[in-house]
Chain A
Amino acid sequence: MNKEQIIVKLTTIVKPYIQNEEGFKNMSEETDFINDLEINSANLVDIILDVEDEFKIEIDNDSMEKMLSVKATIEIIQTKMNA
């Protein structure tokens, strides 16, 4: 799965939790979940669990620690899917 395909799926996953519409409209690889989308940290775990379900991967604690941005999330998804 390429970056663009992953971003499309991620857009659907984060949508229920975003609080910044402008940031969401411009969502790209450079987007930060908290600073740009204003997602509450209490919802980060929901996103991580949704990513696990959607991509059928398991995200370990070390990977989870870095999942604050679209870029980091794409890297983790690609690594886990290719493992």
Chain B
Amino acid sequence: MLRIGNDIVDLKLAKTQSNWQRKGFLEKQFTQKEQQEIWCSKNPFFKVWQFWSMKEAAYKCYTQKVEKRFFAPQKFECFLLEKEKGFVVFENSKFYTTSFLDEFYVHTIASDILLGNNTTLFLGIDLPKNIGNNIKLKLSEKKGIVFEEIEKRKTVIGAPLFYHQEKLLTNSCSISHHGNYGAFIFTAAS
């Protein structure tokens, strides 16, 4: 089964709340290779948060499978093939990533299988408080189910699941919040 994860970083909040140049910040979370790429980049700040969102999106993808929580960003190593496309390697797993960058946010989606044109994904970006309803709305349209009857639940590690009565509507689902932005991505159960 295809698994997908996503992560959004509000760049304005990242600028005020985290100091990436603080001693230890890069060393604890990024590999030697990544640190080198960050320092050689035209915009190190962007690169830090793109790598971070790639790691986090890959982690969310991986933990849907293993259902275990941990904090080991350095073990997820990022490789960029072009500005927006790349992959993340964690132990024996590889995750394919696509990032969307602008001056306001970085949003990365990761999948454990290379996404083809025949994959139907539902995704969106909105205010954090609207994300749950946006997912329900899409599911309601897709499945022809009454919006109010769709219920959000969580797995043991906190990953979101959407149900109609006892029927699971989402196959893989990921929600991310940071500052003024919320983002979601999911695949629907057939």
A binds B: yes
Complexed CA–CA distance, A68 and B158 (Å):
13
One of A45, A48, A68 near B69 (C-beta < 8 A): A68
Interface stretch (choices A2-10, A21-29, A59-67) = A59-67
Per-residue interface assignment for chain B, residues 59 to 90, with 1 indicating a CB less than 8 Å from any chain A CB and 0 otherwise: 00000000001111111000000000000000
Known: A41-B56, A42-B52, A43-B17. A67 touches B24 (CB 8 A): no
With an 8 A cutoff between CB atoms, is A44 at the interface? yes
Say whether A49 contacts B24, CB under 8 Å.
Answer: yes
Say whether B14 contacts A42, CB under 8 Å.
Answer: yes
With an 8 A cutoff between CB atoms, is A20 at the interface? no
With an 8 A cutoff between CB atoms, is B18 at the interface? yes
Say whether A66 contacts B25, CB under 8 Å.
Answer: no
**Chain B residues near A35 (CB, 8 Å)?**
158
Distance (Å) between the CB of B36 and the closest chain A CB? Answer: 19
Per-residue interface assignment for chain B, residues 11 to 32, with 1 indicating a CB less than 8 Å from any chain A CB and 0 otherwise: 0001001100011110011000
Distance (Å) between the CB of B105 and the closest chain A CB? Answer: 12
**Chain B residues near A64 (CB, 8 Å)?**
28, 71-72
Distance (Å) between the CB of B112 and the closest chain A CB? Answer: 20
Complexed CA–CA distance, A38 and B14 (Å):
16
Say whether B18 contacts A66, CB under 8 Å.
Answer: no
When C-beta atoms are compared, the residue in chain A nearest to B178 turns out to be A40
Distance (Å) between the CB of A68 and the closest chain B CB? Answer: 6
Complexed CA–CA distance, A17 and B14 (Å):
12
Say whether B28 contacts A48, CB under 8 Å.
Answer: yes
Distance (Å) between the CB of A35 and the closest chain B CB? Answer: 6
- Other than the given A35-B158, A61-B75, 10 more pairs (CB < 8 A) read A42-B14, A43-B17, A45-B28, A46-B22, A48-B28, A49-B22, A49-B23, A52-B24, A61-B28, A68-B70
Which A residues form the contact surface with B (CB < 8 A)?
A: 16-17, 34-35, 40-46, 48-49, 52, 61, 64-68
